[in-house]
Amino acid sequence: MAAPPTQLLPLELIDKCVGSKIWVVMKGDKEFSGTLLGFDDYVNMVLEDVTEFDYSGNHTKLPKILLNGNNICMVNNDALWSTT
């Protein structure tokens, strides 16, 4: 019989992504891809080596950015779905 899946809180899932590349979808037609350096209890995030995308197809490279957690709609990373 398989072991039941473990449950993680949302902040624990994000903590698994620290140091890895993530994709963040924001309110207001912006998306960011970069390496997650850290976050706080409000899910404000600091990313480095960032690419900013908008829905007109433009992209901008940024060395570092602070994202306001109130404006984050979705975070994606392969580590979020890893079972190990």
The structural domains of the chain, with segments of one domain joined by +, span 17-77
Q: Which residues contact 49 (CB under 8 A, 6 or more apart)?
A: 34, 35, 63
Token pair, residue 25, equals 């979808």
Tens digits of pLDDT across the chain (84 residues) = 666 667 878 899 899 999 999 999 999 889 999 999 999 999 999 999 999 998 888 999 999 999 999 999 999 987 665 555
Among 2.30.30.100, 3.30.300.30, 2.40.30.110, 1.10.4190.10, what is the CATH number of 17-77?
A: 2.30.30.100
Cβ contact 36:18 at 8 Å: yes
- Backbone phi and psi for residue 37, each to the nearest 5 degrees, phi listed first: -90, -35
Closest by alpha carbon to 33, among 19, 48, 43?
A: 48
